[in-house]
Homo-oligomer: A and B are copies of this chain.
Amino acid sequence: MSKIAILGFGTVGSGTVEVFLKNKSNYQKNMGQDVDIKYILDIRDFPDSPYADKLVKDFNIIVNDPEVTVVAELIGGNTFAYDAVKQALEAGKSVVTSNKELVATKGAELLKIANEKNVSFFFEASVGGGIPIIRPLQQCLMSDVITSITGILNGTTNYILTKMIKEGAEFSDVLAEAQKLGYAESNPEADVSGGDACRKICILASLIFGRHIDPEDVYTRGITSITKEDAEYAANWGGVIKLIAFAGKCGESLEITVCPSFVPLESQLSGVNDVFNAILVKGEATGEVVFYGKGAGKYPTASAVVSDILNALKHGNKNLSWEERSDENHVVDYNKQKHRFYLRLEGVSKSKIKELFGEVVFLSRKNALEDEVAFVTPVICVEEFEKKCSDLYPLGKIQIMD
Binding site for B on A (CB under 8 A): 15, 19, 23, 26-27, 30, 124, 130-132, 135-136, 139-140, 142-145, 268, 271, 283-294, 297, 299-300, 302-304, 306-307, 309-311, 315, 318
A135, B315: Cα distance in complex, Å: 14
7 cross-chain CB contacts under 8 A: A15-B285, A26-B145, A130-B287, A143-B307, A288-B294, A315-B315, A315-B318
A286 and B124 CA atoms in complex are apart in Å by: 13
A309→B293 CA distance, assembly (Å): 29
Contact in complex: A289, B143 (CB < 8 Å): no
Taking the full assembly, how many copies of this chain does it contain?
2
CB pair B306 A286 closer than 8 Å: no
Query: A315: shortest Cβ distance to chain B, in Å?
Result: 7
Chain B residue with Cβ nearest A293 = B289
Given contacts A19-B285, A287-B299, contact A292 B268 (CB under 8 A): yes
Please give the distance in Å from A308's CB to the nearest CB on chain B. Answer: 8
Contacts of A304 in B (CB 8 A): 143, 286
Judge whether B302 and A131 touch: CB under 8 Å. Answer: no
> In the assembled complex, which residues on chain B have CB atoms less than 8 Å from the CB atom of A136?
132, 135-136
The docked-state distance in angstroms from the alpha carbon of A299 to that of B145 is 12
Contact among B26, B130, B289, B309 for A130, CB-based, below 8 A: B289
A289–B287 CB distance below 8 A? no
